[in-house]
Amino acid sequence: MALFDPERERIVIRVVYDGPGHAGKTTNLARLCRAFAAWRRSDMVSPNTLGERTQYFDWLEVEGGLLASYPIRAQLLTVPGQRELTVRRRFVIEHADVVVFVADSRPEALAESKAFYAELCEQLAGFPEPVPIVVQANKQDLPGAMKPPAFAKALSQGTRAPDQVVGSVASTDKGVKQTLTVALKLGSDQLRKRLGGQKVHALAGVVGDAAGTYAALEHHEAELARARLGERLEPPRPQPSLPSTHIWPPVTGRALLGELEQVELRRQATSDDEVLLASPSWRLSTGRDRCYDGDDAGLLAMWQLTRRKVALAGWLPEPSVVALQPDPAGTGMWLWTLEPALPRLAAELSPSAAPERRRAALNHYAEILTGALALAETRNLIVDLEPSSYALQADDGDRERVRYVGPTLAAGHALEGVVARVFATLEQHAGDAVAQADFIETLLLGLRRVPLDWDRRVALQNEFLAAASRDAGAERVRDAVVVTLSKPARE
């Protein structure tokens, strides 16, 4: 909607250059930018300077004459012409006062132009105020180009006829300024009609700029994505019929997915963004952040996740399966993980657990803290340190093994929070001196073996030193840890 900018005392009219890709929309703006003296226009903001992704829109502001004795500031925007960017195109058109429909006027390009033009008319038909259309029959220099009136007739057959037609060769400036003049004339006439005798101040409002429009468009897309995924996530369960590339490990994974079809899985209460289906023996999970737009993105994420799972080595629950399931509704590719349901370490660590179990769990937790340091250092893998992220599983020899079942598996070398965990654990078990002593012994043993890079060793030492000592016991631990860390790692 055209606006009056009370601060700068000018009228803002937005002209949207619509049309298929390669029609010449960007060329129009680039040419206008050159034609206007710098003080009569803004810089042209092209898509790749508006963030990483290209093809949002081009933006140029130019002076456009007078209306009711106020200067007109024309905001010129192009739409992205690629089919897959329809959402952005619609968004840009939504804010148009006038549309210039740029098209390659050769017969071979007509079918695509007609489809775009019909979409434009359909969208404009839903607007509360009429929006004039100027058809720019571009590329008149090319052999076979249709004459502007004939072209416009063929283009708009069966839909709304344009308000004006201009022939052009945008690449040589021909018709470019004329198109804008015509568009602004139509825009001004429309505005006058809308005002119906009121002063332009009746249209006072906040005028958008390129950055604001870009931000609004990003926001709009995020909202759409959210709506597309629905309020409640209902991702399709992973099927054993998936191709081998979409199941890891392919053979045993497929067999397990097949078995799982016979198992009744119940949906567990989790956050709105996650889905957890569980039986007494299995946990199958995915989430909004594990839904990918296409096969490529999904497979890349799957590859990253499985690589990290492999890096967990002995901490990986047995069996573990990853599967990438496409949604038949076309909402995306869902990355699922399947694991056995295992008792969590957190429960064993709780003060209400039997003392023997609790001490064993504390020993495991000390191993976990140093093991996590080693994972970060040697495998570039950051895990979560919450005791609820760890489970216990009996191995073939019936030995209890620690398994990682936490939510994060990130890349990185700098693991944070170990020191805080050490002191919090000591505090939590302050009433059990035996358990504390065991925990510290295992911790020191682990720290002696962690192959930490020298800088990280010093950083960790400093972190321990800086930790506020709460009592004499904590201070002794701190000193012992610092001494241990000052020696090189032992195998």
Ligand X SMILES: Nc1nc2c(ncn2[C@@H]2O[C@H](COP(=O)(O)OP(=O)(O)O)[C@@H](O)[C@H]2O)c(=O)[nH]1
Binding site for ligand X (CB under 6 A): 19, 21-27, 78, 81, 102, 138-139, 141-142, 169-171
CB closest to Mg ion, residue no: 26
* Full DSSP string of 184-230: HHHHHHHHHHHHTT--GGGGB-PPP-HHHHHHHHHHHHHHHHHHHH-
Which residue number, 26 or 113, has a Cβ lying nearer to Mg ion? 26
As measured in angstroms, the least distance from the Cβ of 55 to Mg ion is 7
Q: Where are the alpha helices (DSSP H) in 105-262?
A: 110-125, 148-156, 176-195, 210-229, 250-260
Task: Identify whether the C-beta of residue 387 lies closer than 8 Å to the C-beta of residue 365.
Answer: yes
Q: How far is CA 443 from CA 263, 365, 423, 434, 477, in A?
A: 41, 9, 12, 14, 10
Q: Which does 370 bind (CB under 5 to 8 A by kind): ligand X, Mg ion, none?
A: none
Beta bridge partners of 392: 402
Considering only residues 70 to 129 of the shown chain, the ones binding Mg ion according to CB under 5 A are none
Minimum distance between the CB of residue 317 and ligand X, rounded to whole angstroms?
Answer: 51
The distance of closest approach from Cβ of residue 32 to ligand X in the complex, given in angstroms and rounded to an integer, is 12
Site for Mg ion in 271-300 (CB under 5 A): none
Residue 138, contacted partner among ligand X, Mg ion, none, CB below 5-8 A by kind? ligand X
Which stretch in 24-32, 201-209, 329-337, 401-409 sits in contact with Mg ion by CB under 5 A?
Answer: 24-32
Query: Quick one: what does residue 164 bind among Mg ion, ligand X, none, with the CB cut-off 5 to 8 Å set by partner type?
Result: none
> How far is the C-alpha of 412 from the C-alpha of 459, rounded, in Å?
16
Applying CB under 5 A, the span of 23-31, 125-133, 199-207, 445-453 interacting with Mg ion comes to 23-31
Q: Which is nearer to ligand X, 88 or 283 (CB)?
A: 88
* Residue whose pair of structure tokens reads 């220099």 in the numeric block: 141
Q: How far is the CB of 185 from ligand X (least distance, A)?
A: 22
- For Mg ion (CB under 5 A), the number of binding residues is 1
- Residue from the set 3, 23, 26, 370 that interacts with Mg ion by CB under 5 A: 26
Q: Smaller CB distance to ligand X: residue 19 or 371?
A: 19
Distance CA 251, CA 253 (A): 5
Given the DSSP bridges, would you call strands 164-167 and 133-138 parallel, antiparallel or unpaired? parallel
Q: How would you classify the pairing of strands 274-278 and 59-67?
A: unpaired
Q: How far is the CB of 29 from Mg ion (least distance, A)?
A: 8
When the beta carbons of 77 and 460 are compared against ligand X, the nearer one is 77
The count of C-alpha atoms lying within 13 angstroms of the C-alpha of 347, restricted to the half-sphere facing its C-beta, is: 5
Query: Read out DSSP for 265-324?
Result: -EEPP--TTEEEEE-SSEEEEEEGGGEESSHHHHHHHHHHHHHHHHHHGGGS-SS-EEEE
Which positions from 213 to 242 touch Mg ion by CB under 5 A, shown as an x/- string? ------------------------------
Q: Which does 324 bind (CB under 5 to 8 A by kind): ligand X, Mg ion, none?
A: none
For the bound state, the minimum distance from the C-beta of residue 19 to ligand X, rounded and expressed in Å, comes to 6
> Which among 9-17, 19-27, 83-91, 168-176 is the span making contact with Mg ion, rule CB under 5 A?
19-27
By beta-carbon proximity to ligand X, the closer residue of 148 and 332 is: 148
Q: Is 311 exposed, middle or buried (0-12, 13-18, 19+ CB in 10 A)?
A: middle
27 binds, among Mg ion, ligand X, none (CB under 5 to 8 A by kind): ligand X
26 or 436: whose CB is closer to ligand X?
26
Q: Report the nearest approach of Mg ion to the CB of residue 56 (Å).
A: 11
Type of residue found at 384 = D
Cβ at position 57, least distance to Mg ion in Å: 9
Residue 142: name its binding partner from Mg ion, ligand X, none (Cβ under 5 to 8 Å by kind).
Answer: ligand X
Q: Shortest Cβ distance from residue 55 to ligand X (Å)? A: 9
Interface region with Mg ion, contact rule CB under 5 A, candidates 20-28, 111-119, 363-371, 382-390 = 20-28
When asked if residue 136 is in the footprint of Mg ion (CB under 5 A), the reply is no
Task: Give ∠ CA 297-298-302 in degrees, rounded to 5.
Answer: 120
CB atoms closer than 10 angstroms to residue 250: 14
The token duo for 350 is: 């709780």
CB 177 within 8 A of CB 35: yes
Selection from ligand X, Mg ion, none that 306 binds (CB < 5 to 8 A by kind) is: none
Q: Which two tokens stand for residue 254?
A: 């497929």
Which of Mg ion, ligand X, none sits in contact with 139, Cβ below 5 to 8 A by type?
ligand X
**In the chain, what are the helix, strand and coil shares in percent, each to the nearest 5?**
45, 20, 35
**Amino acid (1-letter code) at residue 446:** G
Rounded CA separation 25/77 (Å): 9
Q: How far is the CB of 172 from Mg ion (least distance, A)?
A: 18
Shortest CB 172 distance to ligand X, Å: 7
Closer residue to ligand X (CB): 168 or 188: 168
User: Could you give the CA distance from residue 16 to residue 133 in angstroms, rounded to a whole number?
Assistant: 10
Would you tell me which residues interact with Mg ion (CB under 5 A)? 26
